A and B are shown apart, each in its own frame.
Chain A
Amino acid sequence: MWERVKHMLIKEFIQIFRDTKMKGVIFMMPIIQVLVFGYAVTTDVEHVSTAVYDLDNSVASRELLTSFVNSGYFDIREYVATEERARDLMDRGKVRTIIRMNSGFEDDLRAGRTAQLQIIVDGTDSNTAGIVLDYSAKIVSEFSRKILQTQAARLTGSPQELGKVEMQTRAWFNENLESRNFYVPGVIAIIVMLITLMLTSMAVVREKEIGTMEQIMVTPITSAEFILGKTVPFALIGFADVILITLIGVFWFDVPIRGNLGLLFFATSLYLMTTLGIGLLISTVSQTQQQAMMSTFFFYFPAVLLSGFMFPIANMPTVIQWMTYLNPLRYFLVIIRGIFLKGVGPEILWPQMLALLAMGLVTLWLASSRFKKTQA
């Protein structure tokens, strides 16, 4: 049996790597993805381009603008003289925020009346807009407090300290709040899934499509051996990608690994059982590579989107949250982030590992029993 499996493995490896471009893709794809996620994917909002429509143009209004600039969140792009110009800049997307102060801003402050200012945000990106509004509220509150302080000093005749809450923030597990520490381990999970799903399903279907399946069926190889031959190479490629991304993550992006690497590989093998099983299942229901690719994506998109990789599961509707329990990626993400960032071990991660093991056994069993039928 092992002799036959060995030949099958050799054949598969020759087939994958015969095309030099394929080598490039298998290893370039993870590198590109990890670089994109390491650098590009961030929802931190800083340096929001801002237009200022300051009709008061006074010491007080300029002082408030300075605190906007000093916060680091706002970059003043232009001082506009008309409302039309401000509107135009927003329409063109040149600025995302307009700060507007009417004349009388300073007079109101002096007289102890409420001075109004308006913040207009581009709501197209509602997420950024919400954060910008929140930043402004904070800056304006702090400005108000400073004004109150001078007023208090004027009333009592001496400099006055007023009560204040100071927030001391500490982030656990990711002290500097680097988004790459969150995404880079996650990329391992999504890449391994994509590579194994697609390679397995398409490799089996290709034999059907170009007719070489018949040749394999006349050889003495059994279907178990065939399945092994079609999954082991891709499992190995999956492992190679795990190592590759981990190396880039650690040496290029300085992502910490606080937990046990051995545990990471063990958990990866549990996870691979599931993804290879699903890849095989897709191959049993597909006749052409196009169908296999489409079916893979039909599974892959929701699996990634509903895994907590980019969108927190806690934000999803309850019914969808239940559905995510069927998603192997969800469990593997908890494991992989736990190992990288939190340094936790099996004592905390065992439920996730158990879930992956169960899913892996079920899908592999389903896939191989269906596989035998479709071959007959």
Chain B
Amino acid sequence: MRPIRVWAVARKEFIHVFRDPRSLAMAIAIPMLLLVLFGYALKLDVDDVPIVIWDRSESHASREFISGFDGSAYFSIRDYVRSYPELEHAVDSMQALVALVIPENFARRIDSGRSASVQLIVDGSDSNTATIAIGYADTIAATYSQDVALREVRRSGARDLQLPTDLRPRTWYNQDMESKNYIIPGLIAVIMMVIAALLTSLTVAREWERGTMEQLISTPVKGSELILGKFIPYFVIGMFDVLLSVLMGEFLFNVPLRGSIFLLFGMAAIFLTGALFMGMVISILTRGQLLASQLAMVLTFLPSFLLSDFMYAISNMPRPIQLLTYLIPARYFVVLLKGIYLKGVGLQILWTEAALLVAFSVLMVVWANLKFKKKLV
């Protein structure tokens, strides 16, 4: 391998990149767009669930029960309805996601120490939101029942009885429970995969398609030199994207960075190398830009977005899918990023993930070199 030939290819690639300012601008704009969207616009947290209430009891007790919903940050009362069709319309037209029906005998039953059933109707189409909303409503009911019980026991004699248990919740690593604090670090992994997919997956396929590969073949440049030369400019762009993402995380979104910034960039460089070479492998194997772009989408973007623990917790997935995620390099990088960002831990805890990332990158580099043949057929 001769550095001068590598450099010659790299320079040619740099010229390609700069001659096409729009693609370059997009390579920077797409990550920023994703960061801004996830930082500002998108939330998985369920709060302010719109609810309508049909209070058929209209009593002190029912109003007290409703105040549990009113005071909760999870629900926002949209309307009080007075009939079943009204309630049905509110749910059908998506004005409300949840409807609560308090029966006429509510106060009577509660006051006489019996159980009163209330009905909760949820729009189940978005099952995730629905399940969470049901959980919140259950907790409000449980808390209310506990308060009712305490009051009754106090009334029957034990006047200064205290509530039996007190739950002290504490949150580690992300005290304010802000979703952006875990979305943004994970997003860096996704962004790098996307960039790799967009940039390198086309780079070799393009030479084949346009016929310029023949010219390259006739030069003395070796396969490995060509691949390395093509890798360098995209690595520079990719690292610039990482820098940009870290800066935006720091100054725009105030995501705490508790661990070592050197470890962060070191790991990012390793992951980016693997991702770019993976794009290259796709490009080498397909030889056509359309096909390469489709494959890149399926193999890089989708898994890193959905199966990496970036937004959807792997621990909640069914077992076979959990096993599948071990094959996805972005998974390890997401663990590393969240660990470095939020937990402030280092290699003594994250070494397995780091080792697996290195293995992934080495594998991709070797594979790209093995598959690339400087031959016409």
Residue numbers of A with Cβ under 8 A of B are: 19, 21-22, 25-26, 28-29, 32-33, 36-37, 39-49, 64, 90-93, 96, 109, 112-131, 133-138, 140-145, 147-149, 151-152, 155-156, 160-175, 177-179, 181-182, 194, 198-199, 202-203, 206, 209-210, 287-291, 293-295, 297-298, 301-302, 305-306, 310-312, 314-317, 320, 337, 341-342, 348
Q: Is the CB of B206 within 8 A of A21?
A: no
Q: Is the CB of B149 within 8 A of A127?
A: no
Cα distance, A287 to B117, chains bound together (Å) = 66
Q: Is the CB of B290 within 8 A of A123?
A: no
Cα distance, A149 to B153, chains bound together (Å) = 8
Cα distance, A172 to B178, chains bound together (Å) = 31
Distance (Å) between the CB of A226 and the closest chain B CB?
A: 18
Known: A155-B157, A317-B40. A144 touches B165 (CB 8 A): yes
Distance (Å) between the CB of B351 and the closest chain A CB?
A: 11
Q: B224 in the interface, Cβ–Cβ < 8 Å?
A: no
| Interchain Cβ contacts under 8 Å between A and B, 8 examples | A114-B165, A121-B171, A141-B143, A167-B141, A169-B134, A170-B122, A177-B127, A181-B125
Q: Is the CB of A129 within 8 A of B164?
A: no
Hey, which chain B residues are within 8 Å of A181, CB to CB? 124-125, 127
Counting residue pairs across A and B whose Cβ atoms lie within 8 Å, the total is: 407
Q: Is the CB of B142 within 8 A of A42?
A: no
- If A289-B202, A289-B206 are given as contacts, then 8 extra A-B residue pairs at C-beta distance below 8 Å, sorted by A number, are A112-B161, A120-B171, A123-B174, A126-B174, A134-B135, A135-B135, A294-B26, A301-B33
Q: Is the CB of B125 within 8 A of A341?
A: yes
Hey, which chain B residues are within 8 Å of A174, CB to CB? 124-125, 127, 130
Q: B109 in the interface, Cβ–Cβ < 8 Å?
A: yes
With beta carbons under 8 angstroms apart, the residue of A36, A123, A151, A293 that contacts B177 is: A123
> Which of B46, B119, B142, B178 has most A Cβ within 10 Å?
B142
With beta carbons under 8 angstroms apart, the residue of A26, A41, A115 that contacts B306 is: A41
Distance (Å) between the CB of B195 and the closest chain A CB?
A: 10
Q: Is the CB of B45 within 8 A of A165?
A: no
Cα distance, A283 to B325, chains bound together (Å) = 36
Q: Is the CB of B172 within 8 A of A122?
A: yes
Taking CB atoms and an 8 Å cut-off, the chain B residues in 86-109 that contact chain A are 91-92, 109
Taking CB atoms and an 8 Å cut-off, the chain B residues in 131-158 that contact chain A are 131-132, 134-139, 141-146, 148-150, 152-153, 156-158
Cα distance, A198 to B289, chains bound together (Å) = 11
Q: Is the CB of A156 within 8 A of B290?
A: no
Distance (Å) between the CB of A44 and the closest chain B CB?
A: 6
Cα distance, A87 to B115, chains bound together (Å) = 42
Q: Is the CB of A42 within 8 A of B113?
A: no
The chain A residue with its CB closest to the CB of B285 is A21
Q: B162 in the interface, Cβ–Cβ < 8 Å?
A: yes
Hey, which chain B residues are within 8 Å of A113, CB to CB? 162
Tell me what chain A mostly uses at the interface: helix, strand, loop, or mixed.
Answer: helix
The segment out of B307-315, B358-366, B368-376 that lies at the interface is: B307-315
Distance (Å) between the CB of A166 and the closest chain B CB?
A: 4
Q: Is the CB of A29 within 8 A of B125?
A: no
Q: Is the CB of B291 within 8 A of A148?
A: no
Report the interface size class on chain B: 35 or more
Hey, which chain B residues are within 8 Å of A310, CB to CB? 311
Q: Is the CB of B288 within 8 A of A148?
A: no
Q: B44 in the interface, Cβ–Cβ < 8 Å?
A: yes
Q: Is the CB of A175 within 8 A of B146?
A: no
Q: Is the CB of A163 within 8 A of B115?
A: yes
The segment out of B238-246, B260-268, B273-281, B295-303 that lies at the interface is: B295-303
Q: Is the CB of A117 within 8 A of B168?
A: yes
The segment out of B6-14, B213-221, B338-346 that lies at the interface is: B338-346
Taking CB atoms and an 8 Å cut-off, the chain B residues in 19-40 that contact chain A are 20, 22-23, 26-27, 29-30, 33-34, 37-38, 40
Q: B377 in the interface, Cβ–Cβ < 8 Å?
A: no
The chain B residue with its CB closest to the CB of A341 is B125
Known: A120-B172, A144-B146. A47 touches B315 (CB 8 A): yes
The chain A residue with its CB closest to the CB of B314 is A40
Known: A151-B161, A289-B206, A316-B42. A166 touches B118 (CB 8 A): yes
Cα distance, A289 to B179, chains bound together (Å) = 36
With beta carbons under 8 angstroms apart, the residue of A119, A124, A298, A342 that contacts B167 is: A119
The chain A residue with its CB closest to the CB of B194 is A297
Hey, which chain B residues are within 8 Å of A136, CB to CB? 167, 169
Distance (Å) between the CB of B140 and the closest chain A CB?
A: 9
Q: B116 in the interface, Cβ–Cβ < 8 Å?
A: yes
Cα distance, A109 to B206, chains bound together (Å) = 73
Q: B111 in the interface, Cβ–Cβ < 8 Å?
A: yes
